[in-house]
Each structure stands twice: as structure tokens, then as C-alpha cells.
Amino acid sequence: MANTTGMANLNLTGDDGTVPTEDEVNPWEVHASSATGVDYDKLIKRFGSSPIDSALLSKFETTLGQPPHFLLRRGIVFSHRDMDQILALHSQGKPFFLYTGRGPSSEAMHMGHVIPFLFTKWLQEAFNVPLVIQMTDDEKFLWKDISLETARSYTTENAKDIIALGFDPERTFIFSDLDYIGSSPEFYRNMCRVQKAVTFNQAKGIFGFTESDCIGKISFPAIQAAPSFSSSFPHIFNSRSDIPCLIPCAIDQDPYFRMTRDVAPRIGCPKPALLHSTFFPALQGCQTKMSASDPNSSVFLTDTPKAVKDKINKYAFSGGGATVEEHKKNGGNCDIDVSYQYLRFFLDDDQRLEKILQDYSSGELLTGYLKKELIELLQAFLKSHQEKRKAVTDEVVKQFMTPRKLKFDY
């Protein structure tokens, strides 16, 4: 069942041996068989992770003394591994750090890329912990038809967008694989340890590599694993190797970290904990996620107000009735309506969202108004983002990307 990315289906069979559905979810491809999108409950079973239930949400609330972020409350961040242990550590005053990343595949990021970073920013502020952000320009060089120089330049452009979301330079280290790995013996040593602990057969099983994949791809998972270990950043953690890690990521990245968690105890490091999010749907519908390579599937951070308006009006898949009469009679279906789904990701006002859900489902609110609400919200977000991004100079990028001590002592 190999597909164009050389990714086979076999990794989708979970620990419990359940038979895969037609949903395709792996680091290179996401495609759901149903209009409501990926069946995330089944995915939890297949991947062997745990659902984020109300008990965990209340633990969040008691640990932090504030309600969990709306992405958690709304089930967009829906699954985890060992998050209860991270909460327990935090209440005992013990340290941990956050690790997330971005594969810089093009100059322009889209709204779907922003969600995990906004969530990570909330985590960083709520827990007051260091954050490392891996820019996998090497990965994009290996998987895409781009040069090393181009991949490296995308890192800088994407880092500007990430910084513009408001990360604190005293608590955040952003690194390019292409630059950092060559200058950090400890990072490379952890890569070697992981490389030695995983066989080609295991990598094939997890990632679906084939004999004709270049050997760079086959060893890449060790590079995405290494930042999970605090010893990869001696300047931040004072060379300690025992600081636990929490990784917020979209669920498609889980194969990398299943592998990492398997290897960690064998190389004497704590297993990273994980928080998984669902995908941000493409404008065309929940069956697939936004893709930077299809301009009409996404709202880009560089889009003008007019482009946003035109794209939403023209492409955002509607769960509304075919005619106004039909819509008023039968109501709209929010489960498949892309504009409503986007509001779930971006509208922080729970009451307003609930009212939209009620009114759209009853047929009182028409698709045009729903779209207008979304367009205005996105336009305001993009206007402010584009202004903030302008203020991020090369000097600021350099500051975030210089290996250094952060404001935490170990």
C-alpha cells in the first residue's frame, strides 16, 4: 500500500492490533474517509495514546489555578502521553521543558501552522518553562526538491512568523538543524545513541521507509528525537540529562515520538510526554488538512484582507442548506462546515461560539453571516500579525537562534 511519499499503511496498526480504517495519518499525509474528518477516537486506540478527559482537564485547572486553554477545553488538543506526570512534577516544583518544531517547507506559513505555536505559547506562559523550537530544514531538503540554501532561508522566514506570535527571547531557543547540529557535540551524540538503538526493520515498521528511500530519510527520525533530551542543550540545562520534556504537536508527528519514547530508557533519559492536537482542516473540507503547496486550500499569514475574503467566500466548504429556504427549514451542519470549524480554532469567546453553533444549526444564521464573522476575525488577526512580523528584524532572529543560557537555573 505504498503511496507517493513512500509511506506504507502498516504503521497505522496500533499496539492492540486493530485493523486500520481508511483514515491515513502519518508525518507526510493526512486523509480522512469521512466528511467530518479523521476519526480521532480510533486514532487514540491505534496509536495507543490516552484521551484528554475531564479528569485531566480539572487537574490542569487545579495545577495552574486557571482554566485550561480553549483548544484543550474544546477537544482540539485531544490526546496525550504522560501529561498527568508532567502536571504532578509541576505541582512539586520540579522542572520540565517544552519542545516543538516546524518543517520549513515554504516561505509562507498558513493559519494551520500557527495553531500549535499559539498553544505552545500558552503552555510556556502558564508553566513558565524553557522552550526549544526545532526547524527541520534538513528534513525538508531530504524530502522535497529544494536546495540546502533554500531550506535554510525558509527557516529564517518561518522563524520570523513564529517569533511574531510573541515568544519571549529569554525563555525560547529556536534552532536550525543545518546550523545547530554541526556546532553541538552533545546533540550529535544523542543522535548517535538513537541511531544505534533503532534497526532499519523498526524504522520501516514505524515510518514505512522502503529500500529505495535515501539513507538520509532513514536516519532523520534520530534528528527529530534528539531535542527530547535535555542533554542536547547543555547551554540551557547546565549539561543535565534528566530534565523531562513535554512535546505539543499535531497527532501526525506521533510516530517520531513513539520511537523516541521506546529508545529513551535504553539511553538513560526520561521519556518525553506528549500533547496531541487534531488537524486544521483545508478550506475544501475536513477530509484533509491545510497544505502549503495548494494555495487555495489555505489562508496564508501573508494574505491580504481581500484575498482572505475571496478565499473564504469562494472555497470554505459549507454545511449550510442548498437554498435559503432549505437552510431555514433544516438548519446547517456545523460538524462539516469549515467556517464554523475555523471559528472553533480561533474564536476564544466560548459563549459567542456556542450562540453561533445554536443559531447556525437551527437555520436562523445563514452561511453568509457565518463566513462574515470568520473573515473579520481572520483579517484582524492577520493585520496585527503582519505588523508584528515587520518588527522582527534579522537581529531579533539571531538573538532567538544563538545558543545561550535562558533565564532558568539548573
Binding site for ligand TRP (CB under 6 A): 100-103, 134, 136, 139, 224, 247, 249, 253
- Closer residue to ligand TRP, CB minimum distance, 103 or 281: 103
For ligand TRP, the closer of residues 138 and 303 by Cβ is: 138
User: Which of 146, 113, 142, 124 shows the shortest CA–CA distance to 253?
Assistant: 113
Integer Cα distance of 173 and 110 in angstroms: 22
Q: In whole angstroms, how close is the CB of 105 to ligand TRP at the nearest point?
A: 7
220 vs 203: CA distance, rounded Å: 10
Report helix angle 338-346 to 350-362, nearest 10. 170
Closest to 238 measured CA to CA, from 404, 399, 93, 101 = 404
Nearer to ligand TRP, 136 or 341 (CB): 136
**What are the E-state strand segments in 77-195?**
77-81, 97-102, 131-135, 172-176
Residue with cell 432549505: 326
Give me the least distance between CB of 143 and ligand TRP, in Å please: 8
Pick the closer one to ligand TRP by CB: 103 or 321: 103
Are the beta carbons of 165 and 114 closer than 8 angstroms? yes
Q: Minimum CB separation from ligand TRP for residue 117, in Å?
A: 10
- Residue 367 cell numbers, joined: 452561511
Q: Considering beta carbons, is residue 139 or 303 the nearer one to ligand TRP?
A: 139
Closer residue to ligand TRP, CB minimum distance, 292 or 396? 292
Residue whose CB is less far from ligand TRP, 87 or 115: 115
Shortest CB 244 distance to ligand TRP, Å: 15
Rounded to the nearest whole angstrom, what is the least distance from the CB of residue 301 to ligand TRP in the complex?
A: 15
Put the strands of the sheet holding 24-26 in their side by side order.
24-26, 29-31, 285-289, 281-282
- Using CA atoms, how far apart are residues 198 and 262, in angstroms rounded to an integer? 9
Query: Are residues 84 and 140 in contact, defined by beta-carbon separation less than 8 angstroms?
Result: no
Q: Which is nearer to ligand TRP, 27 or 37 (CB)?
A: 27
Phi and psi dihedrals of 160, rounded to 5? -60, -45
Least distance (Å) between residue 318 CB and ligand TRP = 29
Minimum Å distance from CB 307 to ligand TRP? 24
One-letter amino acid for residue 150 of the chain: T
Sequence-distant (≥ 6) Cβ neighbours of residue 395 within 8 angstroms: none
Q: Are 102 and 162 in contact (CB under 8 A)?
A: yes
Distance in Å, CB of 249 to ligand TRP, minimum: 3
